[in-house]
Chains A and B, each alone.
Chain A
Amino acid sequence: MPLGSVIFAFILGAVIVAVTGANPFAAYSGLLCGGFGIGCTQGENPALEISNTIVFTIPLITTGVAVALPFRAGLFNIGAEGQLLAGSVACTAIGIKFSTLPTPILLPMVLLGGMAAGAFWAGIAGVLKATVGAHEVVTTIMLNYVAQWLVRYLIIGGPLQLAAGTSKSQPIGAGARLATILPADNSFIVFGLPASVYRVHTGLFIALVAAAVFAFLLWRTSFGYEVRAVGQSQKAARYAGVSVRRTIIFTMLIAGAFSGLAGAVQIAGVDHNLTDKYFSDTTGFDAIAVALLGLGSAVGIILAALLFGALHSGGAIMQSDAGISSNLVLVLQALILFSIAANFVGAIRRGLPFGRGVTPAQPSELPPAAGLMSEAAVPPPETT
């Protein structure tokens, strides 16, 4: 990951903080404490802070992958959030309906159900794109909103609601839960606190496996080759015998499955029920930044997810310890993105996956299908 750009962004951030009259050192030490448990001055427990960071990181890895894969094919999956919600809904519904089943049966059911739901959600956009050329940005944005309102419909006055007047679902069965890494026991003391406060769960391993699967898929399979070929140039890919239409559909299906898995893991590992907070969840959008930051590589995505998870965790501590609004974290995320995309630091190492962002000295590679505007699956008529 371009470390220099990240550091430069933090410097810019410090300037902004200082200009508005606050203390950048206090701000950053708050972030360090909340993010990595380093240098905590107000009695925060470092193990707890690290644990919170990891909890925030886990879904970002899998959704980061869900955005990064379509990027490679020249598609912009802005619908990761909707696909995540679809996965959460499926996991919750299955977890409630079959709540009496034991773990070896129910857990795979909810996770696979989540993947299927996410794949379906993304598949709608994929099929629309591949058949009638409907732009995936429009369709996935629409699907995001539909998913949001579906969540609300289900838990407020709808079939999954816990009880009249609440805005959350019933809890999923015990068999649908992902175990925490430490036993969730109030009396077992670890690092000075009851073990149940450490919420890191086995979904972490699922996320890491997902990242590995993504890398394997992209670089070691013929499908991955087709994805990259379509991403470089749909025309060239077609000439090489790749079915562009099929590739687009499958890419979206798989991306949706990743996102849906992330949603299912969140329910199974952390929340164990569906609440109204999912309506305003932003994981899928943060994942776009994670995918961009991670430069599309599995390791990069994991590191980027960790950075964003740490910033999320750190922001809360920064706000209460240093009195600086946690929204500074968003400013920093943006500065990091700018810094990397514009290559302020000027380091010319590998190009970005889409061949953008190089300094003026180098001619840019031209994958015309990359990014937002991509050609339709069928050769377009002459432009007006």
Chain B
Amino acid sequence: MGHKRLRFLVLVAAAMVFSLACGGTTGGGGTTKTYKIGLVTDIGGLNDKSFNHLAYLGLQKAITDFHVQGDVKESKSGDDYIPNLIDFAQKNYDLVIGVGFLMQEQVGTVSGQFPNIHFAIIDGAGTDSKGNDLKHANVQSLYFKEQDAGAMVGVVAGWLEKNGKAKKNKHVIGAVGGISIPPVNHYIAGYKWAAKMEDPSIQVLVGYSNNFTDPAKCSGVATSQINSGADVLFQVAGGCGLGVLQSAGKAGVYSVGVDADQKDADPSVIASALKKVDVATYTAIKNVVNNQFQGGALTFSIANDGAGYSIDNFTVPADLKTELDKIQGQIHDGTLTPPSDIPA
């Protein structure tokens, strides 16, 4: 083939690829419909630097990529879940996303009232009052294997303790949870399991602040763990947990962030357990825009890059890096499975 022909074919191919890619941004099939997406946040508010914030980021990215109309309703208390969800539903939004485990029952109720509206819920399903999944066809559940992410940072903590590379090296680490609910406990389960795997003599202190918003409350629990010898603290408490990071910094020990990469939250943060709520939110919206919404469950884990970890403010020793890659590979291919319940 001559050069000119080859170049022409390449140009045509490029044009085809280009138009296919751009076709997606106007909502599939070339229609000019503007999809309306409603996001109902949980009580932590958008300021939590993790959970609700990530969902919001996912929405923002979808607005940029797909030109959807995105609206947010912040729930100030549990009383607001139902009015917020119904408000979007009765305005015929194309997708109503509930951010959080705590609103499962409400999503179950409202999805039953509006069977023609698509719902997605993060960390849960549409349930009845007893917690049974109603399996409504118009509800998509976005689950996460937080234990995968927790395990990775648990490896970091355990390895540091075993090799004497932490700050106090007493083989004591801590985790501060918000409330004892599954999404929180999954993280802690993976963390404890992996840490014990790395360092069998390790002691993992688990405490709860019973609060997701106020850093002062988590500060207190963190300080108590530090006073008991913990020198790596894992925060699993949303906005409150930022107090954990701060206390660790003040005490000169290490801390671990949660949900999003929290390296800027405090210099003491050496790693973050990542839960890609933004990816999940974006994916749910993308499915709707491409008319591919399907009820049922989607699970995000290390296997599909929906969960993971980051290393922050810290230079990883080569041995630790090797260990991390090894464990991640084993979780990815199923050789190792972090538990979802906190081991004894």
Question: Which residues of A are in contact with B by a Cβ distance under 8 Å?
Answer: 42-45, 48, 52, 56, 152, 156-157, 162-163, 165-168, 170-171, 186, 193-194, 196-197, 199, 272-273, 275-277, 280-281, 313, 316-317, 319-320, 326
**B180: contacting residue among A43, A157, A163, A313, CB under 8 A:** A157
Q: From residue 34 to 80 of chain B, which have CB atoms closer than 8 A to chain A?
A: 71-74, 76-80
Structural contact, B210 and A199, CB atoms closer than 8 A: no
B182 within 8 A of A: yes
B84 within 8 A of A: yes
Residues of chain B within 8 A of A152, CB atoms compared:
210
Distance, CA A156 to CA B180, complexed state (A): 8
Structural contact, A167 and B102, CB atoms closer than 8 A: yes
Structural contact, A319 and B77, CB atoms closer than 8 A: no
Structural contact, A167 and B181, CB atoms closer than 8 A: yes
Structural contact, A197 and B113, CB atoms closer than 8 A: yes
**A316: contacting residue among B84, B112, B210, CB under 8 A:** B84
- Once A48-B86, A171-B130 are accepted as A-B contacts, the answer to whether A319 and B73 lie under 8 Å apart by CB is yes
B333 within 8 A of A: no
Give min CB distance, B252 to chain A, whole Å: 33
Distance, CA A259 to CA B112, complexed state (A): 33
Counting contact residues on chain B (CB < 8 A from A), the size range is 20 to 34
Give min CB distance, A110 to chain B, whole Å: 16
Residues of chain A within 8 A of B74, CB atoms compared:
319
Structural contact, A320 and B77, CB atoms closer than 8 A: no
Residues of chain A within 8 A of B86, CB atoms compared:
48, 197
**B77: contacting residue among A165, A193, A280, CB under 8 A:** A280
New A-B pairs, 4, CB < 8 Å, besides A167-B102, A171-B130 = A165-B182, A194-B113, A273-B129, A280-B77
**A43: contacting residue among B91, B113, B130, CB under 8 A:** B91
Question: Which residues of B are in contact with A by a Cβ distance under 8 Å?
Answer: 71-74, 76-80, 82-84, 86-87, 90-92, 102, 105, 109, 112-115, 129-131, 179-182, 185, 210
Structural contact, A193 and B90, CB atoms closer than 8 A: yes
Among B76, B83, B112, B115, the most chain A Cβ lie within 10 Å of the Cβ of B83
Q: How many A-B residue pairs have CB under 8 A?
A: 73
Residues of chain B within 8 A of A165, CB atoms compared:
180-182, 185
Distance, CA A317 to CA B130, complexed state (A): 30
Give min CB distance, B40 to chain A, whole Å: 10
Distance, CA A82 to CA B91, complexed state (A): 38
The 8 closest A-B pairs by CB, nearest first: A277-B78, A171-B129, A43-B91, A194-B113, A165-B182, A186-B113, A320-B73, A52-B83
Distance, CA A167 to CA B184, complexed state (A): 12
- Once A162-B130, A313-B83 are accepted as A-B contacts, the answer to whether A194 and B102 lie under 8 Å apart by CB is no
Residues of chain A within 8 A of B78, CB atoms compared:
275-277
Structural contact, A196 and B179, CB atoms closer than 8 A: no
Give min CB distance, B105 to chain A, whole Å: 8
